[in-house]
Structure 1
Amino acid sequence: MSDDPLAAIVPKKEGEEAIAALREEGVYDDSRSVREAGSDALALPVIRPPKGTEVHEVIRQPDPEPRAPGLADLLAERGWDDAEIERAPKSWAVIGSVILADFGGCPREREIGEALLELHGGADTVLAREGISGEHREPSVRAVAGAGDTETVHTEHGTEYALDLSKVMFSPGNKAERARMGEVVEQGERVLDMFAGIGYFTLPMARAGAGVTAVERNPVAFRYLLENAVLNGVEERIDAYRADCRDVEVQGIDRVVMGYYEAHDYLPAALEALGDGSVLHMHEATPEAELWERPVSRLREAGKTAGRDVEVLDERRVKSHSAGVAHVVVDARIGRSR
């Protein structure tokens, strides 16, 4: 029926990550349960088609089932009253075997952690996020329940990311963009990833057949970058440098990825590396009131200074960065000024 509710189809192995991304996008329907869609896929309930989360397809779902018990139900079973439940986390991320949540001073953290582990049977640790600090934007986390492990291996679209959540960042909300970068590259392309981290974009691109020059100055993230190249069997396609990306000289590059919120400061180096007719992907944290004028004008101004033509190909919102600020990406083709 045309008024049947919607469901997004995703591979089973990506179910937890997809649910987290759909929740962050604000389209996940907590009133219905997840159902199987064949032997290898899940039908995730959504209130409207997602725009920022990659799914196989969106279908109508006749005879929907009420959702299975959620966190609030489990806490109520443990004797929590409505006021206490209201203070419990409303969202969390499952990264590999670790659940990462913002507790924000809510009561009885351990009971919440144990309930979350009950909800996500594949996880063995719950960590509280307590902020980010330092030159390398290092996360601060605290073990709340379970084994207390901070190291894990997270899988997305077949790419494996080994990481330590107490030392490096991982954003579930960037999942669709990570997957997209593995789709836009072509076999044999030369790519420069200026802020490679643990391989967020480098690994999908290398797995797709690109040769990637990956630059990362954080020594811990760089160690995981090397480990993940081997883990995914793409070490022969990645040239990794622990350095400031402005100090790595490469030219004639087909594609540059600038996956950092302040990437505009590094545009001269990116434009210098790019060949004629190549593509640039510039990330930025932009106030909503300045979309899309600010990132595009910054890119055009840098192109003018460098004597390069800039053709904007796409403008995409990745996710919310903070109140009133969006994480966006501008794709552009870069040419030589005639």
Structure 2
Amino acid sequence: MKARKVSSSELGSIAVESWVDQTRRPYVQDGYAWVPVRDGCAWDEDLPERAGDPRGYQRLGDLLIFHGDRPSEAEVDGAIRRCHPRGVLWTRTHLGVMRIPETTLLYGEAGEVLHRENGSRYWLDPQQVMFSQGNRAEKARLSAAVSPGERVADMCAGIGYFSVPLGRAGATVDAFELNPVSYRYLLRNIRENRLEGSVRGFLGDCRTLISGVYDRLLIGHFEGITMFGAALAHARTGSVIHLHALEDQSDQVLTLAAEAGFSAEVSVRVVKKYGPCRVHLVQDVVLG
């Protein structure tokens, strides 16, 4: 694995750099991080592939979360020895449009946690609501892209994954969420981050609640193409729509934009790996 060695304290600031391979995780040890490099970019060290390394997991507060296939007892025991968590969860998938986690408690106890990320604070219960640390670089990228005073619609806000950092970056955010449990955490996280003056939460379907015109619209849901028409109806020339998906939908996006009277430029970037031979994409759509 070709990588650049940096201080681990720099991970947040370099997450949006063009040379970072977003499909692979950095290796962190003793205050340093070896950050995977995209093909064709300069690198410092060529690390051996570490097939025998411990399986990856998320750390949310004092809980550990395994995703995908059920971890073995040895993998769970190893994670417990390394991290001493309050509990260990296995999340198989997220179900339906409300993205409800399907979880099993493998060790200890679970419940609410306070998770800190890039200066933002999030309360959540990972047995009830979704949270993905794999989107950290995308959150940082959008936070760097917004201008103070921008009007932003977060059409699938969840607990505030994007709304909170965008509000902290100076945007005025309308955050829409369909899941009542996620919505309660959204409101709590707005208060936790003292964003009552810049982020507003709305409970219900964004397609019926959204109103007005926005500079930037975020559709952070894999069924987001079904909401793209609603986003276009509340955009203007120069607006940017960030549409998440599991496949490149550029042709469909261009057709829908043209039907709404816009030209569009679409750029596609990888957010992270999603599964075997699949990646999580974001399509940046600039309307003309």
Q: Same fold (TM over 0.5)?
A: yes
What does the per-residue CA deviation read over 1:272-322, in whole Å, with 9 as the maximum and x for residues that have no partner? 111221111111111xxxxxxx4111111111111112123x321111223
Distance 2:111 2:21 in 1: 23
**TM-score, normalised relative to structure 2:** 0.84
Distance 1:23 1:333 in 2: 24
The equivalences for 1:100-249 within 5 A come to 100-102=65-67, 104=69, 109=73, 112-121=75-84, 123-146=85-108, 148-249=109-210
Out of 280, 283, 288, which is 1:330 matched to?
A: 283
Distance 1:252 1:203 in 2: 20
| 1:26 and 2:14 matched | no
Higher RCO, 1 vs 2 (CA within 8 Å, ≥6 residues apart): 2
Q: Structure 1 residues 322 and 27 mapped into 2: Cα distance closer, same or farther (>3 Å)?
A: closer
The alignment yields a C-alpha RMSD, in angstroms, of: 3.1
Q: Structure 1 residues 115 and 187 mapped into 2: Cα distance closer, same or farther (>3 Å)?
A: same
Unaligned runs of 5+ in 1: 37-42, 52-57, 65-69, 73-85, 287-293
Match of 1:305?
A: 259
Distance 1:259 1:8 in 2: 30
8 Å CA contact retained: 2:3, 2:37? no
Name the structure where helix makes up a greater proportion of residues: 1
AA partner of residue 210 (structure 1): A
Q: Structure 1 residues 112 and 333 mapped into 2: Cα distance closer, same or farther (>3 Å)?
A: closer
Shift of 1:12: 8.4
Out of 43, 57, 62, which is 1:92 matched to?
A: 57
Larger radius of gyration: 1
SS at match of 2:88: strand
The equivalences for 1:57-68 within 5 A come to none
Unaligned runs of 5+ in 2: none
Distance 2:193 2:209 in 1: 24
8 Å CA contact retained: 2:21, 2:37? no
Aligned residues: 276
Percent identical pairs in the alignment equals 31
What does the per-residue CA deviation read over 1:100-155, in whole Å, with 9 as the maximum and x for residues that have no partner? 11484555x3x64343133125x322112233324422112222223x12311111
